[in-house]
Structure 1
Amino acid sequence: MATSDADDVLDALAAAALEVRAGFAGRREKTDGQNASGDQQLHADLHADDVLQNFLGGLDAVGEYASEEAETVQDVGDGPLSVSVDPLDGSSNLTANNPTGTIVGVYDAPLPAPGTDLVAAAYVLYGPLTTMVVARDGDVTRYAVTEAGRENPECVDLPSDPTVYGFGGRTPEWPESFADYADDVEDDLKLRYGGAMVADVNQVLTYGGVFAYPGLRERPEGKLRAQFEAAPMAYIVECAGGASTDGSHSVLEIEPGDLHARTPVFLGNDELIQQAERALA
Structure 2
Amino acid sequence: MTAPDADGGDPADAGSVVEAVFDAVAETAPEIRAALPGRRVKSGTENASGESVMAGDLYADELLGDAITAVDGVGSFVSEEREAAVDAGGAVGEGAYAVAIDPLDGSSNLRSNNAMGTVVGVYDAPLPATGRDLVAAGYVLYGPITTMVVADDDGVREEVVEAGADGSVSRSVVEDNLRLPDDPLVYGFGGRVPDWTDEFTAYAREIEDELKLRYGGAMVGDVNQVLTYGGIFAYPALVDAPDGKLRLSFEANPIAYIVERAGGAATDGEVDILDVEPEGVHDRVPLYVGNEELVERLKAALD
TM-score by length of 1: 0.98
* 8 Å CA contact 1:60, 1:77 repeated in 2: no
Q: Residues 53-64 of structure 1 correspond to what in structure 2 (within 5 A)?
A: 53-64=65-76
**Greater shift after overlay, 12-21 or 88-97?**
12-21
1:140 aligns with one of 137, 156, 165: 156
Query: What residue is the counterpart of 1:260 in the other structure?
Result: 282
Larger radius of gyration: 2
Which residue of structure 2 aligns with residue 172 of structure 1?
194
Instruction: Tell me, in whole angstroms, the C-alpha distance in 2 between the residues paired with 1:55 and 1:19.
Output: 12
Counterpart selection for 1:21 from 33, 47, 67: 33
Q: 2:121·2:137 contact (CA, 8 Å) conserved in 1?
A: yes
Amino acid at match of 1:275: R
Which residue is 1:116 aligned to? 132
Cross-structure match for 2:10 = none
Partner of 1:66: 78
* CA-to-aligned-CA distance 1:175-205 (integer Å, 9 cap, x gap): 0000000001111000000000000000000
Q: How many Å separate the matches in 1 of 2:277 and 2:35? A: 34
Q: How far did 1:152 drift?
A: 3.0
Q: Tell whether the 8 Å contact from 2:157 to 2:173 is kept in structure 1 after alignment.
A: no
Inter-partner Cα distance in structure 2 for 1:39 and 1:104:
20
SS at match of 2:111: helix
Q: Distance in 2 between matches of 1:249 and 1:276?
A: 12
Q: Which residue of 1 aligns with 2:222?
A: 200
Using the alignment, how far apart are the partners of 2:247 and 2:269 within structure 1? 15
Using the alignment, how far apart are the partners of 1:256 and 1:161 within structure 2? 34
1:38 correspondence with 2:59: no
Distance 1:208 1:279 in 2: 20
CA distance in 2, matches of 1:138, 1:215: 32
| Aligned match for 2:171, one of 150, 157, 161 | 150
Once superposed, which parts of structure 1, at least 4 consecutive aligned residues long, lie more than 3 Å away?
none
Separation (CA, whole Å) in 2 of partners of 1:114 and 1:81: 14
Q: Structure 2-normalised TM-score?
A: 0.91
Tell me the distance in 1 between the aligned counterparts of 2:278 and 2:22.
Answer: 24
1:129 aligns with 2:138: no
Work out which of the residue numbers 227, 230, 254 in structure 2 matches 1:232: 254
Residue 138 of structure 1, CA deviation = 4.4
Distance in 1, matches of 2:140 and 2:214, equals 19
**Cα deviations across residues 33-59 of structure 1 (Å, max 9, x unaligned)?**
110011110100000000000111111
Distance 1:280 1:41 in 2: 33
Task: Answer whether contact 1:165 1:191 (CA < 8 A) is retained.
Answer: yes
Which amino acid is 2:302 matched to?
Answer: L
Q: 1:138 to 1:276 in 2, by over 3 A?
A: farther
Structure 2 unmatched runs, 5+: 3-12, 164-168
- The aligned counterpart of 2:98 is 82
Q: Distance in 2 between matches of 1:165 and 1:153?
A: 24
**Distance in 2, Cα, partners of 1:142 & 1:185:** 28
